[in-house]
Amino acid sequence: MRSTSGRTIAGALLGLIVAIGCVGGAPAQPEYPAGLITMIVPFAAGGPTDIVARILSQSMSARLGQQIVVENVVGAGGTTAATRAMRSPADGYTIVMGNMGTHAAAVALYPNLPYNPATDFEPIGMTAGMPVAVVARKDFPARNLVEFARYLKDNGPAVRMAHAGVGSISYTTCLLFNSIVGAKPSFAGFQGTAPATRALVAGRVDYLCDQIAAEVPQINAGAVRAYAVGSATRNPALPTVPTAEEAGLAAFHVSPWNALFAPKGTPDAVIRRLNAALSDALDDASTRAQLLELGSEIPDRKARTPEALAALVRAETARWIPVIRWATAQEKEKD
């Protein structure tokens, strides 16, 4: 028979063991990241957003000590992928490479957009800006941008404009261009810029407006004809291609961007870890060289913070809503 004192001592020992096991509250979680990270890309493989994503995912993986796997999710101008990312667990293991289309212009283009770019995501950081080039099939009859704009206006639906889906950068920037010059082409949608560019090279469509990453090799090879870039200055990757202002169309000035986002509620410590890996990757000499060769505009460190990206999303949404609504109204008036 145990004595009362024996039971007391045993109880005290048990309590001590429990107390030791519970020091600090819940069991310690493994340090992030403890496994694979999925980076959702809203467009097909081979397009400009995909190219930037793959360069950065490799560089960031080395800094995080875990592999970042790129997953291409196409549809609805990139909003299908953004919606999927928004609904993913907020644990840092699913992120999305958004852009000016998915996280700004889509608000005006999709009345029933399932997400709010400003409130349904945690901004990680801006990755790279990418100037837009206006390109046409290599045998297009116009010799310069002014002639090209006149040809589009005069020939209307007979001219086929390629784009990567409603809401994509190729769609929104060409919508802006068409409105400025008064053109009303027929639209040919593709699931990404890469298939759109292949159609352009093959001569199945007439022109395309998009980020220059996928177009630089085609332009330099003479497979397509470049009329202008929408940036304020010429791009080092395409030194012979004039700016739209130089080519006689100053109103066409647009600089699309790409950026990383995580689902709303992702812990701040995880966001900061991802941001640090992104920023260090953008400072890496090899990574920078690859991005600059494609014509990318790399943001400085101040522009890479989550706070700077949040401000950019708000500003760009406010900018594109009136532009796209005006452009859409112009198109309806021509019907």
The mean per-residue pLDDT over the stretch 245-270 comes to 95
At 333 the pLDDT is 66
**In this model, does residue 4 exceed pLDDT 80?**
no
Q: How far apart are CA 89 and CA 150, in angstroms?
A: 50
CATH architecture of 132-255: 3-Layer(aba) Sandwich (3.40)
312-335 tens-digit pLDDT: 999 999 988 887 887 777 666 655
**In this model, does residue 131 exceed pLDDT 50?**
yes
Confidence class of residue 13 from pLDDT cuts 50, 70 and 90? very low
The mean per-residue pLDDT over the stretch 208-223 comes to 92
In this predicted model, which residue has the larger pLDDT, 110 or 26?
110
What backbone torsions phi and psi does residue 202 show, to the nearest 5 degrees? -80, -10
The mean per-residue pLDDT over the stretch 62-91 comes to 96
38-58 tens-digit pLDDT: 999 998 898 889 999 999 999
Q: How far apart are CA 246 and CA 197, in angstroms?
A: 25
**In this model, does residue 161 exceed pLDDT 50?**
yes
pTM of the model: 0.82
Parts of the chain belonging to CATH 3.40.190.10 = 132-255
In this predicted model, which residue has the larger pLDDT, 8 or 257?
257
**In this model, does residue 7 exceed pLDDT 80?**
no
At 219 the pLDDT is 95
176-185 tens-digit pLDDT: 899 899 999 9
**In this model, does residue 5 exceed pLDDT 60?**
no
* CATH of span 37-129+256-324: 3.40.190.150
